[in-house]
Amino acid sequence: MTNSGATGFNGLELHGLSRRVGNHTLVDQLSLQVAPGEILALLGPSGCGKSSTLRLIAGLDPVSSGDIRLGGRSITTLPPAQRQVAMVFQSYALFPHLSVERNLSLGMELRGMARAEIKRELDQVLALMQLQEQRQRKPAELSGGQRQRVALARALIRRPALFLLDEPMSNLDAQLRDNLRAELRTLLRSTGVPVVYVTHDQHEAMGLADRIAVLRNGRLQQLGSAETLYRDPANRFVATFLGSPSINLIERGDLQLGLRPELLELANAGSPVPAGWEALEGQLSHREWLGDRVISHVHCPGQGTLKVLSGEGFTSDTLQVRWPKAQALRFHARSGERLPGSSDPHTA
């Protein structure tokens, strides 16, 4: 199952990684690499294998088959304490009765570090995380963002070769998550080690990660930058999972057309359809005003409701929805696989 010999790659490597429990496969032949200093997001719905993959890398669950390599050497059979891996959980797992300083220093004391060295490490990580003024406070006295930084500081102080983060911002409100996203990305990139970040939130993944691995039922669906996954999805699942509002799907027998809301145009019902375009007519059901954009929901008989990023200025609620044919993504209606002839709709 493993090969202890060194390779030339200095980051994290997963080779055919699988985890099976009885007849249920949690992770299925997962292979990928994460370079030093790179943030890779594992993205997908609940139960897709994200957290299971993290637990395999951390050594918390046994590997059924495959190999995990870090810094060029296999760590697949090593116990967690010997893997040089730091893991941050969504609960942060801080000791509630200890101050920030003691939460950070306790591990170093247990490892037998000298008092002067502990102080030096503490001062450095507290400054990096901007927690100097909170060093004597207990977790209950901190904001959600500050507790998150303490959890990251505790991981940093171990000087790991790999960071694993399991939904670390899921307990924060939406506004705080937005505010912390850029700060967290900067902090993680500054470590210079590979980072694997688990989330079910596409905005979090797209805003934080250098690359995203989309998982479904334990299998890798696509791996690439946020832009690649959005503009050039490998299949219908990836196309529908990324994007807000979500992609529109139009039925064409054994074919489905995928149309991003920003690529659709509205016109008055009965307007001439330009050459190379297709159109449907429908009834405006409602508009969402979101400050910087308006989403029009147009119900088209036989196709359901299409979402369009435009729609103001029309006096009638009966509208034409149209799009350039060349910009439609094409999927097999049953399998969801991407079909030949689908071009990047943003460059077609």
Q: What is the residue whose two structure tokens read 């003691």? A: 102
CA distance 7 to 71: 8
Amino acid found at 300:
C
Domains by residue range for the chain, with CATH: 4-237 (3.40.50.300), 247-332 (2.40.50.100)
Name the token pair of 128.
Answer: 């990096």
* pTM (2 d.p.): 0.86
Which of 19, 10, 3 lies closest to 70 in space, CA to CA? Answer: 10
| Pair of tokens at residue 77 | 């059979």
Contact 329, 255 (CB under 8 A): no
pLDDT at res. 342: 57
The token pair that represents 144 in the structure block: 């959600």
**pLDDT tens, 270-321?**
999 999 999 999 999 988 888 778 899 999 998 999 999 976 667 788 999 9
Distance of CA 152 to the CA centre of its chain: 18
Return d(Cα 106, Cα 109) in angstroms, integer. 5
Q: Return d(Cα 160, Cα 59) in angstroms, integer.
A: 14
Taking the mean position of all CA atoms in its chain, how far away is CA 184? 14
Give the whole-angstrom CA distance, residue 171 versus residue 89: 11
- Worst-scoring range by mean pLDDT, 27-31, 200-204, 327-331? 200-204
Could you tell me which of 202, 290, 279, 284 has the C-alpha nearest to residue 246?
Answer: 202
A 10 A CB-CB count for 323 gives 22
pLDDT at 60: 95
Q: How many CB atoms lie within 10 A of CB 91?
A: 13
User: Does the pLDDT of residue 158 top 90, yes or no?
Assistant: no
Tell me, what's the pLDDT at 9?
A: 82
Nearest to 323 by CA among 313, 312, 308: 308
Residue 179: pLDDT above 80? no
pLDDT tens string 221-279? 999 999 999 999 999 999 999 998 999 999 999 999 999 999 999 999 999 999 999 99
Q: Output the six-digit token pair for 336.
A: 């969801």
For residue 284, the surrounding DSSP H or E stretch is strand 277-289
Q: Tokens in use for 130?
A: 């901007």
Tokens 């299949």, located at residue: 235
* C-alpha span between 283 and 211 (Å, rounded): 39
Rounded Cα gap, residues 185 and 260, in angstroms: 28
Instruction: Answer whether 65's CB lies under 8 Å from 232's CB.
Output: no
